[in-house]
Each structure stands twice: as C-alpha cells, then as structure tokens.
Amino acid sequence: MLVGLGLGPGNPELLTLRAVRLLKEADAVFVPGRIAHDLVAPYREPVMLDFPMTDDEAKIRECLKANAIKIAPVAEAGLAVFGILGDPNFFSTFSRLCDVIAKTHPGIGCRTEPGISSITAFAAAAGVSLNEGFTVSDGTFSDTKILMKVRRPKERADQLRSEGYREFVLVERMFFPDMKVYRNAGLPEKSDYMSVMYARK
C-alpha cells in the first residue's frame, strides 16, 4: 500500500496526529524535498526522492517512473508513505505518481491522508474569512465544483446537470465512524449538515 500523506504548510506544529502516527508505523517514508524531509525527520529518517520543479513534461515523467521503481518494493511488501507539503489532493504530484504505479505495479493500492492545505493555511495567516464561495486555481480553468453543507444532494445534482456537470460524489460526516460516500445515481434525497459534494463536468 502507498499512502500520500499531507504534512501541512511547513510548520511542524501543523502536522496532524494521524500524520505522526503513520510516519511512525510506515515501513518506509519517502519525501520530495528538504522541507518535507525536515518535517518527517523528528519521527524517522525519510528517503529523499528527486522531483525537479520544471515544465519539461518528459523530464517529469522520467522522474515519476524512477521514483515509482524506488517506492514499489516497499509498497508491495507493506506500508510506504509519501509525505508531501500541504494536502496530497490539492495540486500535488501524488496523483500522477499513483497513475504511474498503477501501470507499472498494478497490484499496489494508493490512498491519501489529508493535511492542512495551503488554502486554509493562507486564510489563517492572512486573517481572511472565506465565508463565501471562492475559486482556487493554478492558472488554469476548472470544470470542478466543491459544495459544502449540501442538505439535498439529489436535488442539487439535478440542478448542476443542467449546467453540464456529470460526475458527483457526496461524502457525509467525513472521517467520523459513520462516514458514508455516495456517487452519481446513488445520491440520497437528504444528507447530514456535515456533507461535502464534488461535481465535475
């Protein structure tokens, strides 16, 4: 198993308790740079991997394949953790790494554990309240929406379909013992206040 683990925005006090536990339990921890290394080092010595900051797509693919080869033996035999700054689901290389591993080592499962993202860290550092809808982008346009507090998910999805949205995921009471995940046609009529919906065109 390979777990993409969010290490937060860089301050060691912003690691989650879950992150610390996984760092200690893993058979090996891999990191992409010095800041991530220093966050992990108090709990165990991580393996540094080369992930160059470049727009050269061929170079990026080459590095992903090389790193997949290093990670795969650990992930096949036990628990490999890939610790990255922020959250592994927000503009990170982890999903691309998993795509490579799925092709070269299809028996290895991948999952993520959340960290404090730069988006929420920014709001705290800047003293900005994000109480209204907002757009987050890396400079490209997105066909994805994240909706919070969705009390009538089936009705909301029907509305979004008229705007061209086709893929839906609802997570109710995330990371609580009674967490539920619904997809597309399986969306319920009503959901808990603590619900988040993903919609994609």
Q: What is the CATH number of the domain that holds 86?
A: 3.40.1010.10
- Which backbone phi and psi does 187 adopt, to 5 degrees? -65, 135
* Angle, CA of 197, 200 and 201, to the nearest 5°: 145
Q: Are residues 35 and 89 in the same domain?
A: yes
| Short-list 182, 155, 148, CA closest to 168 | 182
The number of folded domains in the chain is 2
Please give the Cα distance from 7 to 14 (Å, whole number). Answer: 8
Mean pLDDT of the chain: 93
* For range 166-186, the mean pLDDT: 94
Q: How does DSSP classify residue 187?
A: -
Q: How does DSSP classify residue 12?
A: G
| CA dist list (Å): 56 to 11, 26, 48, 60, 70 | 30, 32, 21, 6, 22
- Give Cα 189 to chain centroid, integer Å: 28
| Short-list 21, 6, 195, 194, CA closest to 113 | 6
Q: Are residues 112 and 166 in the same domain?
A: no
Instruction: Between 51 and 108, name the one with better pLDDT.
Output: 108
**57 falls in which pLDDT band (50, 70, 90)?**
confident
Where does 78-178 have alpha helices with state H?
Answer: 94-104, 118-126, 153-161
Domain that holds residue 84: 2-119
Q: What is the pLDDT of residue 135?
A: 79
**164 falls in which pLDDT band (50, 70, 90)?**
very high
In the structure encoding, which two tokens stand for residue 8, read together? 């937060």
Q: Are residues 112 and 149 in the same domain?
A: no
Q: Are residues 108 and 183 in the same domain?
A: no
Domain membership of residue 136 (yes or no) is no
Residue 92: how many other CB atoms lie within 10 Å: 20
Q: What is the pLDDT of residue 92?
A: 85
Q: Are residues 50 and 91 in the same domain?
A: yes
**Tens digit of pLDDT for each residue in 99-141?**
999 999 999 999 999 999 988 898 898 888 888 888 787 777 7
Domain membership of residue 113 (yes or no) is yes
| CA dist list (Å): 116 to 18, 63, 86, 188 | 12, 26, 6, 29
Q: Are residues 154 and 97 in the same domain?
A: no
Domain membership of residue 28 (yes or no) is yes
Domain membership of residue 124 (yes or no) is no
Domain membership of residue 81 (yes or no) is yes
